[in-house]
Amino acid sequence: MRRVSGGEGAREPALPTIVIVDDAAEVRSLVRTRLRLSRKLHVVGEAADGVEAIEMARQHRPELMLLDVSMPVMDGLETLPRVLEASPGTRVVMYSGFQEQGLAQRALELGASVFLEKSSSLDTLADELVAALSAATAPVAPAVEPEEPDEDADAAVLREHLERFREVFDDAAIGMATVTLAGQVVRANAALADLLGRPVAELVGTPYAAFVGTAEGRLAAALQEILDGTSRVVQVEHEVPLGSVRRQVLATLAPVLDSAGRPLYLFLQVQDVTAQRAAEEQLRQSEARFRLIVEAVEDYAIFMLSTDGDVQSWNAGAERINGYAEDEIVGRHFSTFYPPEVVASGHPERELEIALREGHYEEEGVRVRKDGTRFWANVLITAVHDRDGRHVGFAKVTRDNTERREMLEMLEQAAEDQAHFLAVTAHELRTPVGVLAGTAETLREHWTQLDDADRDGLLDGMVSSAARLRRLLTDLLTASRLQASALEMSSEPVDVLRLAEAAVATAQRIHPADEVLVEGEPGLVVDGDPDRLAQVLDNLIGNALRHGRPPVRVTVHRVGDTVEVAVGDSGSGVPEEMRERLFDRFATGRSRGGTGLGLFIVRQLARSHAGDAVYLPPAPGEPGSGRFVVSLPLATPSV
């Protein structure tokens, strides 16, 4: 639990009281300083999560509470009604980096008095909070870009760098947009504008359904699936009307959810699949033309059926795929290749009826081999007629598409991971970028009004935010190079304990309030890249400080022919449901936050050094949160 102390002065009875709730200490420091400078509000307490916020409300009964939405342990939406229950007279003002109206409306429904965006000007924050005390209704503060005063050279450079972070979305090579739950585009990038043949300005405020032509019904159904919670990621393929040009695109929609699992808004990704679909159509037509039985073909099962569906011929591909020799299958009904439940439904007979009526029938589905194993098959049945037009049977071509289906499922999962990663990364960038901008503005405009404690607090916040951005960018670059197998590493003798001591010293400078301890055996040396190994330790220590509880302990010991570096903390440990995918790329828990790249990079870098990284949960009755252990082979002594 945190209370304001030092620099606040004696409480002025006439000033309304307020509690600030935000999981970022630098944000709380910045807001507290600006409210003090306004001389309009008295900060009586601070909290870093919902649990602390409820206790602050119960203890102080403040007139106002500034409550962040996205926090660990208990988020703002879950906290809001409990705060009002603990202190019914408190006016709660929600404060969030998410700008979508759906989130604001939900906060108001739960009892918030006002919803403010973190992009709003800090100069008007105190006035907006005071106004909330007498507001008859619960308005949503508009996103107004503050006027930018003249900047000095240093501030101009800082702003230029901040703008580069905001351009990540706009400069992406793939079409992307933020869409309301009703399907209306609220933000789009240049790549999407190029795909849809409209300027960005025309896309904003326009329903995406306006660009999907005859697929409008499928788009509406996809949106409803997300709202109903039946699908996490949905795809709609449609044509884009561009005059005489025929462009086929695949639109992928994924919700950005709040901590209760409710969608706040949608992330839209649009890919041009014109060339891919043209190739698939060409292949389909090619398969339809090849209706002759070719015994030498082994990749396709090609055989003839009688008018009743009995197998009349058999090729090598059919034997390889289905497992039957020719004398074992000829004369038997082709329903032999279908699962019993499909046969019972009469589906094989309906396939022949459709092929006879329409000339051909094509589907993908499960088939059964002779040994009972099942596979995913693409099936084409074509009605065969003689020169006089009499129906004489069917040609059936079957292809084993099991591997292709697995690949498509992997691509769908990758699309979901990418959508989630982009949404989470944008959110991870928002707080440090906002703190840097707000702090720079405060220091420039109020330097003489600030005392040394205020300046130190603001500068510490800038250092922390800059370090957070640097770590994020380092992780993104490393993950990209690992995926492309383009990561370059040097090799030299590295004293592991000294490396650990340096990493701990760095962590202590960034987190002076948190205790980080290191101990181990001196003189243990490995061959490796010191910068990459330092990144491993930085990620593990940062992970412990962010998701665990101090003190954090780093130990270095020899185990056989390896050096083991263990990092543990005093928190509750990794939930059991997360452990299996803990080191996967983009793996994040519900309340863990982050991009999901840190531990992925740790393991990949450890393995690049012929080592490994694992998580060891605490034994029953053992205190602590368990340990992350990186093992590296000891350097071979030089002769």
CATH number of the domain residue 95 falls in: 3.40.50.2300
Closest CA to 77 of 43, 41, 44, 53: 53
Task: Give the number of other Cβ atoms within 10 Å of residue 347's Cβ.
Answer: 15
- Residues 605-624 as b/e (b if ≥16 CB within 10 A, e otherwise) read bbeebebebebeeeeeeeeb
| Lowest-pLDDT range of 95-99, 244-248, 276-280 | 95-99
Q: Would 287 be classed as within a structural domain?
A: no
State whether residue 307 is helix, strand or coil.
Answer: coil
Asked whether residue 531 is domain-assigned, the answer is yes
Check if the beta carbon of residue 115 is closer than 8 Å to that of residue 96. Answer: yes
Listed in sequence order, the residues at least 6 apart from 121 whose beta carbon sits closer than 8 Å to its beta carbon are: 144, 146
Total of domains in the chain: 4
Residue 160 belongs to some domain of the structure: no
Q: Is 457 left (phi over 0), alpha (psi -120 to 50) or beta?
A: alpha
Q: What residues does 381 pair with on adjacent strands?
A: 361, 396
More confident residue, 10 or 359: 359
Strand-pairing partners, residue 517, are 553
Packed helices 530-547 and 598-608: angle between N→C axes, nearest 10 degrees: 150
| Partners of 494 in the β-ladder | 526
Question: CA quadruple 620, 621, 622, 627: dihedral positive or negative?
Answer: positive
Does 620 reside within a domain? yes
Both 430 and 574 in a single domain?
yes
pLDDT average, residue stretch 255-260: 70
Give the separation between CA 445 and CA 192, rounded to whole angstroms.
39
Q: Across the strands, what pairs with 398?
A: 301, 379
CATH number, domain containing residue 180: 3.30.450.20
**Are residue 478 and residue 517 in the same domain, yes or no?**
yes
Q: Which of 223, 247, 280 lies at the terminal end of a domain, its last residue? A: 280
Q: Which residue from 616, 495, 622 is spatially nearest to 567, judged by alpha carbons?
A: 616
Is residue 84, in this structure, part of any structural domain at all? yes
**Cβ atoms of residues 17 and 63 within 8 Å:** yes
Q: In this structure, are residues 66 and 21 in contact, taking their beta carbons and an 8 Å threshold?
A: yes
Given pLDDT bands bounded at 50, 70 and 90, which one contains residue 30?
A: confident
Instruction: Give the DSSP letter of residue 592.
Output: T
Give dist(CA 109, CA 103) in Å, integer.
Answer: 10
373 and 415 share one domain: no
pLDDT digits (tens, 9 = 90+) for 50-103: 889 999 999 999 999 999 876 656 777 788 999 999 999 999 998 876 554 445
Which among 400, 429, 450 is the end of a domain?
400
Which pLDDT does position 638 carry in this prediction?
59
Euclidean distance between CA atoms 378 and 360, whole angstroms: 13
* pLDDT single digits (tens) 491-541: 899 999 999 998 888 888 877 878 899 999 999 999 988 888 888 898 898
205 pLDDT tier (thresholds 50, 70, 90) = low
pLDDT band with cut points at 50, 70 and 90 for residue 297: low
Residue 37 belongs to some domain of the structure: yes
Q: Same structural domain for residues 260 and 311? A: no
Work out the mean pLDDT of the chain and round it to a whole number. 80
Residues 310 and 367 placed together within one structural domain of the fold: yes
CA dist 575 and 500 (Å) reads 27
250 and 353 within one domain: no
Residue 161 is assigned to a structural domain of this protein: no
Q: Which range marks the domain in which residue 382 is found? A: 292-400
Predicted local distance difference test score (pLDDT) of residue 166: 53
Q: Is the pLDDT of residue 463 over 60?
A: yes
**Same-domain check for residues 391 and 500:** no
The lowest-confidence range among 4-8, 225-229, 284-288, 491-495 is 4-8
Residues 328 and 266 in one domain: no
Q: Which residue has the higher pLDDT, 157 or 22?
A: 22
Question: Do the domain assignments include residue 606?
Answer: yes
Q: Are 462 and 611 in the same domain?
A: yes
Matching residue, tokens 């504008």:
193
Looking at residue 553, which CATH number applies to its domain? 3.30.565.10
Within this chain, do residues 369 and 267 fall inside the same structural domain, yes or no?
A: no
Straight-line distance from the first to the last Cα atom of the chain, in angstroms, rounded to the nearest whole number = 58
